[in-house]
Chain A
Amino acid sequence: MTMNDFNRDELRRALRDTADHRTDALGSIVEATRGLNFARSLSRRRFFLTGGATVSFAALVAACGGSESTGIARLGDAPTPNELVEADVTDVALLRTATSLEHNAIFVYEAAASAGVLSGDAAEIAKRFLDDHRAHAEATASLTRSLGGKAYTQPNPRLQSIYIEPALTLIVGDEANGVPATDDPAADVLALAYALETIAGATYQAYVPLLDDKSLRAAAMGIGDQEARHAALLGVVLNPDRLVSSMGLSIAVEYQEDTDTPAAAYASPSAFGTQAPVPVTLGAANESGIRTTVNLETPSLNSMVYEYLDAEG
């Protein structure tokens, strides 16, 4: 008998054993649950009736997980797990991530400018915002260097791949993959910019309690202030009729909005700066008339630009 024959025989035997276990256990379950109608709600009485099934499921789990059995099928080698890297959330990592987010914004405004999507007042506003983000990127890079770190100079790769690129694809379309272009690219770019600026402000806010150096907190919020104002200005442009949302406020009914659904943009959407995701609806409507909503969020731990990532290339 060759080694291959041995392995095949072992495998067949293991599969047969497993099948036998499964048949025994399933047989108990079938017997225990016979006559039950799972489409109906599970009443207290029915809960007790199904107790037998629960026990049988437990038996199935136990049968599958038997540690003494040598009959469980095993084929090939398990992949070696990735070694997790030691990385702390330092002031440098936070500043590098902030810089990367500025470059995400720069990317969006540059893309919109080169595509000629915006015109007139909207184009002027976008140009000013682009200049501001370049200044912010230089400021956070300079702070990074002042702490002895290496400044980051690219868009955040994770945010770029999960938010920016899909959003821009919805706006410009992707014929090869059947994604039609949006009907109103200028409105979509402004909506994306509103969400992006809101998230940028929220990111600096989120970093305040994480920054060790008090002076860095003030510097970060000096930039966060500007991001929030960018978002607010776009809120004025997108929703000039209602500057400040009353959603969630306990104020007299006469001052409440006459809807339960907040508008897509406000100069001031809430009392406090929040860390909540910012939804932005983009792209062409599908056959049901529904457009895609992308939820933008502040960078998570997996989106941070740790210094060790530079070495990985």
Chain B
Amino acid sequence: MSTTPVTKNSDKFATTPPRRPTSADVELLAFAQSAELTARDLYEQAVAAGAGGDHVASLVAVAAHHDAYAQSLSALLGTDAPQARNDALFSSLTSGFGANTESMALAAHELENTLVVTHTDLLGLLEGTEGAALVASILIGESRHCAAMAALAGKSPVSDIDLFLTTSDVVSLAPQA
């Protein structure tokens, strides 16, 4: 195959979806922001309880990641950002984020998997490209969190490899279209 130089039309993409979030997008992104704030609070709760051991810095960093996701979504949403966690989601998960590092890491692994599946579903619903691009970059970060939490739970990258690589049986939280 030849590698002909860049085409003169290459700065014009054939696809032209909207850039800014539509009104339907705003609802979806607001939901995502509240989910991220919930995750941040859960990690902070676990750190405060004493989870993490030698890897406590990693848990603090992951909490900061989720806070960064919420802030980025807030920047996109402006005054439509809820700026509050999802209390129902927090209550349903809070017991897993205690002081025991191994059990907390497994709960965090499931949470991250759930967020990955949720964001993947959101990508199939979002119209605006700015929101979709942001959610995609968050999704990549959370995919990597899944592997980090599996390792923190003491799982083997070889004999437990599916725990690192697959989303298992988690259910998406994404609102239906």
Decide if A217 is an interface residue (CB 8 Å cutoff): yes
> Interface-forming stretch among A168-176, A244-252, A281-289?
A244-252
CA gap between A93 and B54 in the complex, in Å = 46
- Report yes or no: A121 in contact with B144, Cβ–Cβ below 8 A: no
Decide if A86 is an interface residue (CB 8 Å cutoff): yes
Number of residues of chain A lying within 8 A (CB) of chain B? 75
Decide if B57 is an interface residue (CB 8 Å cutoff): yes
Residues of chain A from 245 to 280 with CB closer than 8 A to chain B in the complex: 245-246, 249-252, 254-257, 267-274
Closest to A215 in B: B124
- Report yes or no: A312 in contact with B136, Cβ–Cβ below 8 A: no
- Report yes or no: A271 in contact with B69, Cβ–Cβ below 8 A: yes
Decide if A202 is an interface residue (CB 8 Å cutoff): yes
CA gap between A205 and B132 in the complex, in Å = 9
Decide if B4 is an interface residue (CB 8 Å cutoff): yes
Decide if B120 is an interface residue (CB 8 Å cutoff): yes
Closest to B122 in A: A218
- Report yes or no: B151 in contact with A228, Cβ–Cβ below 8 A: no
- Report yes or no: B7 in contact with A232, Cβ–Cβ below 8 A: no
> Interface-forming stretch among B8-16, B75-83, B86-94?
B8-16
Per DSSP, chain B at the interface is helix
Closest to A213 in B: B15
- Report yes or no: A208 in contact with B123, Cβ–Cβ below 8 A: yes
Inside 8 A of B133's CB, which chain A residues have their CB? 205, 208-209
Closest to B61 in A: A244
Inside 8 A of B3's CB, which chain A residues have their CB? 157-158, 302
- Report yes or no: A301 in contact with B139, Cβ–Cβ below 8 A: no
- Report yes or no: B161 in contact with A267, Cβ–Cβ below 8 A: no
Known: A243-B152, A267-B148. A218 touches B61 (CB 8 A): no
Closest to B16 in A: A212
- Report yes or no: A229 in contact with B69, Cβ–Cβ below 8 A: no
Q: Mark A120-152, 1 if CB is under 8 A from B, else 0.
A: 010011001000100000000000000000000
Known: A91-B15, A210-B13, A225-B167. A255 touches B57 (CB 8 A): yes
Inside 8 A of B57's CB, which chain A residues have their CB? 242, 244, 246, 254-257
Tally inter-chain residue pairs, CB-CB below 8 A. 222
Nearest CB in chain B: distance from A209 CB, A: 4
- Report yes or no: B127 in contact with A214, Cβ–Cβ below 8 A: yes
Inside 8 A of B138's CB, which chain A residues have their CB? 272-273
Decide if B129 is an interface residue (CB 8 Å cutoff): yes
- Report yes or no: B136 in contact with A221, Cβ–Cβ below 8 A: yes
Inside 8 A of A246's CB, which chain B residues have their CB? 57, 60-61, 64
- Report yes or no: B137 in contact with A313, Cβ–Cβ below 8 A: no
Closest to A93 in B: B14
CA gap between A19 and B60 in the complex, in Å = 70
> What are 6 A-B pairs at a CB distance below 8 A?
A132-B165, A232-B144, A232-B164, A246-B60, A267-B148, A272-B72
Point out residues on B near A: beta carbons under 8 Å: 1-10, 12-17, 54-62, 64-65, 68-69, 72, 116, 119-121, 123-127, 129-130, 132-133, 135-141, 143-148, 151-152, 157-158, 161, 164-165, 167
Point out residues on A near B: beta carbons under 8 Å: 82, 84-91, 121, 124-125, 128, 132, 154, 157-158, 201-202, 204-205, 208-212, 214-215, 217-218, 221-222, 224-226, 228-233, 235-237, 240-246, 249-252, 254-257, 267-274, 301-302, 305-306, 309-310, 312-313
Q: Which 7 A-B pairs have the closest CB atoms?
A: A273-B140, A232-B147, A218-B124, A88-B14, A212-B15, A209-B129, A244-B58
List 12 additional A-B contacts (Cβ < 8 Å) besides A85-B8, A271-B69. Answer: A82-B5, A84-B7, A157-B1, A205-B133, A217-B123, A218-B123, A221-B136, A224-B139, A230-B165, A237-B157, A244-B65, A268-B58
